[in-house]
Amino acid sequence: MFTLVGASVDIPYKVYKLLGYLGPKLYFLRIPKTDKDEDASLKELREDFGEKRAKVEAALFQYLKWLEIRPDMEIDKGSSLPKVEWASYHSSSNENSNNVKDEEIAEKYIVRLAKLLARLRGVALTWETQGSQGSEYSYTQPIIEDPSRAATQLQNLARGHALLHGRNYITKEDIPIVVKTVLSTGVVERVSIFDKLLREEGTLSTSDIVAFLNVSANTAKRTMVELVVLGLVNTNESNEGTPYNEQKKIYLKDEFKWFTTNEFKKLREDFVPEDNHDEMNRGEQKND
Amino acid sequence: MVVFGGDNNRGGMGKYVEIDLSDEIHDLGFTKVSIHEKNIVILFQGKYPVVSTFRMDEIERTTKGLEKKMITNGIASESAQRLIYFLTTEFLGMLEDERKRREEAAALSSQNGSSREADKIEEEINKDKSEVGKISLEEWEKVRREKYVMLKNTVDSSLPSLWLPLEFTLSVKSIMNIKKITLPFAGIILGAPSTLKTVSLIMLRVWPQTFYTDSFTPKSIVFLPEFSMVMAMSAILAGMDNEATLKR
């Protein structure tokens, strides 16, 4: 058993596509860029980064050391690591159980997030099937993971977060880190359309996507087909437009409507995953 | 083929080293090329040995001096040049080997340093444990809250944008402290340059039972074929987008 954390600017599209075919999955966290005002930048310039880092490191180590002397932690014989029993593992017959366990609502959120993640990082191949105008698209059977393993992984992440906050049970407080991870792990363009769908109360037309992504109508239609194939949205032909300016609409499926609620909005804490492909490509060009 | 000495040889080899000659170089009449400390010695059929100054950190000067001496000793200019070409390639290979050796030694030294710091942290944890003695979970929680507030305030006042990657890193790390979790978790922090994405990782490099590396090459993927997750991660961190690499 191990856990890993790495850091990179972004992932090349080709690699991301390949990750879809791998059994074990990676989970990402996209850090938003901070736009500092002049005063903040000036303050930063005058301070010593090394000193600040040392201060943080000292406080961090003090905290981590205290976490490790938690009274109910026991040294695991196999790994020599201090480990804690999870509250929900206690059986009801266990007299030592304090009857505290993972909040059911938090667990439900994790299940919903895992289902969304399966769609947001699924693999869907689409291609033009009608003439050079490409008004119709075909697709292969999409590869959408069973969300159960993702749910377990996200639950483990939430548990890690809970333990960091002194709890051996999950509450709603542990969901924001899971939300940010799910929104960062999905294909970034797909997540941005999903966000647009949430802002538009679950409905988007071809022209909305054309304007939002700054792409041609055919590219927008292809994107719409991809979302339909992945099972994130339904579609039906709109009566709007002429045969030469055909409009389609997509509708967020009912099972994902919870994501349009204020509850989800609160849990995401205004988090918007950052797309760093431009920075990554600039870096690659510099290295060339 | 070659063994480099310690770090105090000031550009020389520090030991006796014999260079394996190719058939082509043998056919030209060269029988042996060896390096003795700061001298390079060339043996050529029917000629006196050529001895010239050898400095690994000054290949150009070494080869020019050697070529001049070979020609002075009556070795044909074309043969001398072909040997110089051969030796330059050998020297560059030796330099590359030395660079790798130094890198590996530095990594090992850094790992040993981290290990010493990890031991120290473990000692401190044990000391804290014995000093605190038996306390209730409630008492422990009270102190934890204080320490948490201190950490959060320190990050907010010093490096506010560090909080999100730090919280993610610590959450992933904490998974290891939960009984019965057996599913490995791999997370990657993605961020534009200078967004402090690696700071939280670097801070934890000295923490007990933590391995830190920033050296990712295709080799690290070959060595870990059983962990496709690690392979994928290594590929991303090595900046590779080669399909074959991932499918290997």
What residues of chain A lie within 8 A of the CB of B143, using their CB? Answer: 66
Judged by average pLDDT, the poorest of A215-224, A279-288, B166-175, B227-236 is B227-236
Strands, E assignment, B59-195: 185-190
Query: How many structural domains does chain B have?
Result: 1
- Mind listing the pLDDT tens digit for each residue in B197-243? 888 888 888 888 888 777 665 544 433 433 445 555 555 555 544 44
Does some domain include residue B244? Answer: no
What residues of chain A lie within 8 A of the CB of B114, using their CB? Answer: none
Mean pLDDT of chain B: 79
Q: What is the residue extent of each domain of chain A?
A: 101-275
Angle at A102 between CA A98 and CA A104, to 5 degrees: 125
Does some domain include residue B18? Answer: yes
Q: What are phi and psi of A88, to 5 degrees?
A: -70, -10
- Which among B188, B197, B239 is the nearest to A26, CB-wise? B188
For residue B42, what pLDDT is reported?
92
- Which among A22, A32, A66 is the nearest to B232, CB-wise? A22
Strands, E assignment, chain B: 16-19, 30-36, 39-44, 50-53, 185-190
- Mind listing the pLDDT tens digit for each residue in B43-101? 998 888 899 998 888 888 899 999 999 999 899 999 999 999 999 988 888 888 877 77
The one-letter code for the residue type at A235 is: T
Residue A20 is given by DSSP the state T
Contacts of A229 (CB under 8 A, 6+ apart): A124, A126, A139, A142
CATH of domain A101-275: 1.10.10.10
For residue A56, what pLDDT is reported?
95
Q: Which tokens hold the place of A109? A: 């959120």
Contact A163 B193 (CB under 8 A): no
Residues 140-159 of A with CB under 8 A from B: 149, 152-153, 156-157, 159
For residue A274, what pLDDT is reported?
84
Does some domain include residue B204? Answer: no
Residues of the domain holding B5: 1-133
ipTM of the complex: 0.88
Whether the per-residue pLDDT at B29 is higher than 80: the answer is yes
Higher pLDDT, B167 or A237: B167
For residue B10, what pLDDT is reported?
37
